[in-house]
Structures are given as C-alpha cells and as structure tokens.
Structure 1
Amino acid sequence: MTEFHEQDLSGADFERVSLRAATFSRVSLNDARMQAIDFTGAHIRGALFNRSRLRGVELVDVEISGELGNVVVNGVDIAPLVDAELNRRMPERAKMRPGDADGFREAWAILERRWADTVARARTFPEEALHRSVEEEWSFIQTLRHLNFASAAWVGRMVLGDASPWHPLDLPWDEAPGWDGIPWDRAARPSLDEVLAVRGERQAMVRGVMESLTDDQLASEVSRPEPGWPQEENFPVRNCLSIVLNEEWEHRLYAERDLTALEKDN
C-alpha cells in the first residue's frame, strides 16, 4: 500500500486512478477540480465544503448532517426549508437562538430538562452499551465528555476567564489540532457516574452564568489571547453562549438517535 505523509502534492494530476478504500486525514483539497468522480460508499466527516460547486451530480440515498447555509439545490436554497421543517418537528429548537438574556435562560432550562430525560433513558442500558460506538460516532459517554469540554471552553475559559478549566476526562472534537495542557484521551472508559459528576459541575457553571446574565453582558466581548483554546480576541459573549446551546441541542439529538440504534441491536 502506497502511503503519503507530510507531502505537498499541489497541482498534481490524477487521471484514471483508483483510490478505492483510501483514507484521507487532514488533507487539503482547496480549489481542487474533480470530474467524473465516483463517491459511492464514501464516508466523509469533519469536512469543509465552503464555496464548493457541484454540477451534474447524482445525490441518491445520501445522508447529510451538518451546518447548512446558502445551500442551493437545483436553484432552490434548501437551508431555510430544512430549518423551518426542523423547527416544525421540534418547536423548542427555535428557542435555541435566543435574542436576549431571558431567552438564554429559557433555552438552558429546556436543555437541562431534555438532557435529564436522555440520561434517564441511557441508564436503562447496560454500562457496556454506553461505551459502544454507532456507525463510528462517539459513544454516549464520549458525547457527554465532549459536552463537558465545550462548556469548559466557551463558558469556563472564554466567559469566566479560567485559562485552564479542564478535567482529565474532557474530550475535544476528533479533528481538533491538539494543544499542550488540554486533555484528550479518546480511549478512556470512565463510568457513566464519573462523567455525570463532571457534567453536573459544568451544568451548574453554565446555569450560574445564565442566571446572572444581563443584556449588557450579552452584548459585550471577551478576549483570551493566552495559549490554549479557544484563543480569541474581542469575541462576543453572545456567540460563546450560543455555541454551547448549539452543542448541547445537536449532541442530544445524536445521543437519542444512537440509543435508538442500540435498542434495535439488542
């Protein structure tokens, strides 16, 4: 098997080449031109398709999960249509984009209530099942670990100013570049109760910020230039809290989806 590591193949020409079952990780295809390409059976995650143009494509039996914005299919921007349909199916989803401090408090209360139901459901499964991956996604426990990381990053570090708010079980996203001093042990297998203990502390931290939040604070900005992540200058507090709301909402849906799959497997 031919391997390419740390090589610059910019401008290379591939014609009548088979890359079947090849693995691409941290590969840049910026401004690439592709014609008569077969993606049948491909699995793509953590990808950026910004400003991409697809012409003459066939999208049949395709599943797309991600952030949509200005996605034009056959002349129709489907992003607002998808957004409206998701809000119709899940009316509380629209509350995850609050406009003021009271709205953020309401959104967080919804998330805590929803997650309490999801955790109660998860407790009906054997502990081993909660470490099981469904279609190469995070396990239930890994999902909780990632949400602990997100709250620590965007509330603990950015909003509250703790330069290193981490717990050893925190889990960054898989495509993260990695940083000194930030834990990242994907293979760890803590118990559900161990992770929920950290989770309770992080939820209380976010709840405290939401309870005291004012509209003036929401409109303010924070800077964290010191090494680590996030490392941002003049970043809106509103955006920090919105990221946490989005992470909590979307990952709960993923968790529920995977619990349903685990039920079917048993």
Structure 2
Amino acid sequence: MIEFREQDLTGARFERVSLRGSTFTQVALNDASMRAVDLTGVQVRGALFNRCRMRGVELVDIEISGELQNVVVNGVDIAPLVDAELNRRMPDRMRMRPDDSDGFRAAWAILERLWEGTVARASAFPEAALHRSVDDEWSFIQTLRHLNFASAAWVDRMILGNASPWHPLDLPWDEAPGWDGIPWDREARPSLDEVLTVRRERQDRVGRVIASLTDEQLAAEVTRTEPGWPRFDRLRVKECLRVVLTEEWEHRRYAERDLTALEEGN
C-alpha cells in the first residue's frame, strides 16, 4: 500500500487512476476539479463543501446530515424546505435560535426536560450498550462527554473566561485539529454515572448563566485569544449560547436515534 503523508501534491493530475478503498484524512481538495469520477460507496465525515458546483451528477440513495445553507438542487434551494420540514416534525426545534434572554431561558428549559427523558431511557440499558457505536457514530456515553466539552468551551471558557476548564473525560469532535492541554481520549470507558456527574456540574453552570441573562449581556462581546479552543476575537455572547443550544438539541436527537437502533438490535 502506498502512503502519502504531509506532502504537497498541489496541482497533481490523476487520470485513469484507481483510488478504491483509499483513506483521506485532513486532506485539502480546495478548488479541485473532478470529471467522470465514480464516488459510489464513498463515506464523507467532517467535510466542507462550500461553494461547490456539481453538474451532470446522479444522486441516488444519498444520505446527508449536516448544516444546509443555499443548497440549490435543480434550481431549487432545498435548505428552507428541509428546515421547515424538520420544524414541522419537531416544533420545539424552532425555539433553539432565540433572540432575547427570555427565549434562551425557554429553550434551556425545553432541553433540560428532553434530556431528562433521554437519560432515563438510556439508564435502562446495560452499561456495555451505552459504550456501543451505532453506524460508526459516537456511543451514548461519548455523546455526553462531547456535550461536556461543548459547554466547557462555549460557556466556561468563552463567556466565563476560564482559559482551561477541561475535565479528563471531555471529548472534542473527531475532526478537531487537537490542542495542547485539552484532553482527547476517545477510547476511555467511564461509567454513565461518572460522565453524568461532570455533566450535571456543567449543566448547572450553564443554567445559572442563562437564568441571570439579560438582553444587554446577550449583545455583549467576548474575546479569548489564549492558546486552546475556542479562540475568537469579539464574539457575541448570544452566538456562544446558540452553539450550546444547537449542540444539545442535535446530539440528543442523534442519541435517541441510536438508542432506538440498540433496542432493535442493530
């Protein structure tokens, strides 16, 4: 097997070449041109398709999960259609992008209620099942560990100013570049109770921030330039909290989906 590691192949030309079964990790394909390529069976995770144009393609049996903005298919922007359908199926979803402090409090109350039910459901499973991956996604416990990381990043670090708020069980997203001083042990197997102990502390802190939130505080800007992540110059508190709401909402949805799959023996 040929391996290419940390090489600059900018401008390379591949013609009548087979790359079947190849693995591409942290590879830049910016502005690449692909013609008459066969992508059957390709799996893509953590990719950016910004400003891509596809012509004369066949999309059959395709599953896409991600953020959609200005996605035009055969002349129709499908992003608003998908958004409207998701809101129809899950009316509370519309509450996850609030504009004022009362809206954030209402959204957080919804998430607390929903997660209480999801954790209760998961607690009925054998511990080993909560470490199982479904379709190569995070296990239930890994999902909670990631949410612990997200609340520490966007509330403890960005809003409250703790430059290094991490717990050894925190879990960044899989495609993250990695940082010194931030834990990242994907293979750790803590118990549900261990992870929930950290989660309750983090959730209580987020809840206190939201409970005392004012509209003026929402509009305020925070800056974090210390080594680590996140690092932003003048990001509004509103945007930090919206990230937390989105993470909580979407990962609970994924967790419920995977718990159902485990119940069905998949």
What TM-score range do you get, normalising by the shorter chain?
over 0.9
Gaps of 5+ in 2: none
Structure 1 CA distance, aligned partners of 2:61 and 2:126?
A: 33
Structure 1 CA distance, aligned partners of 2:49 and 2:171?
A: 25
Structure 2 CA distance, aligned partners of 1:253 and 1:37?
A: 34
Alignment partner, residue 190 of structure 2:
190
Give the deviation of 1:185 after TM superposition: 0.5
Structure 2 CA distance, aligned partners of 1:18 and 1:186?
A: 32
* Matched pairs, number: 266
Alignment partner, residue 166 of structure 1:
166
Structure 1 CA distance, aligned partners of 2:101 and 2:37?
A: 49
**What secondary structure does 1:233 align onto?**
strand
Alignment partner, residue 69 of structure 2:
69
**What secondary structure does 2:33 align onto?**
coil
Task: Note the 1:107-256 alignment, pairs <5 A.
Answer: 107-256=107-256
Structure 2 CA distance, aligned partners of 1:28 and 1:86?
A: 32
Provide the alpha-carbon RMSD of the alignment: 0.7
Alignment partner, residue 19 of structure 1:
19
Alignment partner, residue 6 of structure 1:
6
**What secondary structure does 2:234 align onto?**
strand
Structure 2 CA distance, aligned partners of 1:181 and 1:3?
A: 30
Structure 2 CA distance, aligned partners of 1:195 and 1:126?
A: 15
Structure 2 CA distance, aligned partners of 1:56 and 1:134?
A: 34
Task: Give the aligned residue type for 1:216.
Answer: E
Give the deviation of 1:164 after TM superposition: 0.8
Offset from partner CA, 1:23-65 (integer Å, 9 cap, x none) = 0000000000001111111110000000000111111111000
Structure 1 CA distance, aligned partners of 2:16 and 2:114?
A: 51
**What secondary structure does 1:88 align onto?**
helix
Give the deviation of 1:11 after TM superposition: 0.5
Task: Give the aligned residue type for 2:231.
Answer: Q
Structure 2 CA distance, aligned partners of 1:188 and 1:198?
A: 15
Offset from partner CA, 1:186-214 (integer Å, 9 cap, x none) = 01000000000000001101000000000
**What secondary structure does 1:235 align onto?**
strand
Give the deviation of 1:124 after TM superposition: 1.3
Task: Give the aligned residue type for 1:251.
Answer: H
Task: Give the aligned residue type for 2:70.
Answer: N
Give the deviation of 1:168 after TM superposition: 0.5
Do residues 84 (structure 1) and 84 (structure 2) align? yes
Task: Give the aligned residue type for 2:212.
Answer: S
Give the deviation of 1:145 after TM superposition: 0.1
Gaps of 5+ in 1: none
Q: Name the TM-score, length of structure 2 as normaliser.
A: 0.99
Alignment partner, residue 94 of structure 1:
94
Task: Give the aligned residue type for 2:251.
Answer: H
**What secondary structure does 1:222 align onto?**
strand
Alignment partner, residue 59 of structure 1:
59
Structure 2 CA distance, aligned partners of 1:209 and 1:71?
A: 36
Task: Give the aligned residue type for 1:158.
Answer: M
Structure 1 CA distance, aligned partners of 2:57 and 2:243?
A: 33
Same amino acid, percent of matched pairs: 76
Runs of 4+ in 1 over 2 A off after TM superposition: none
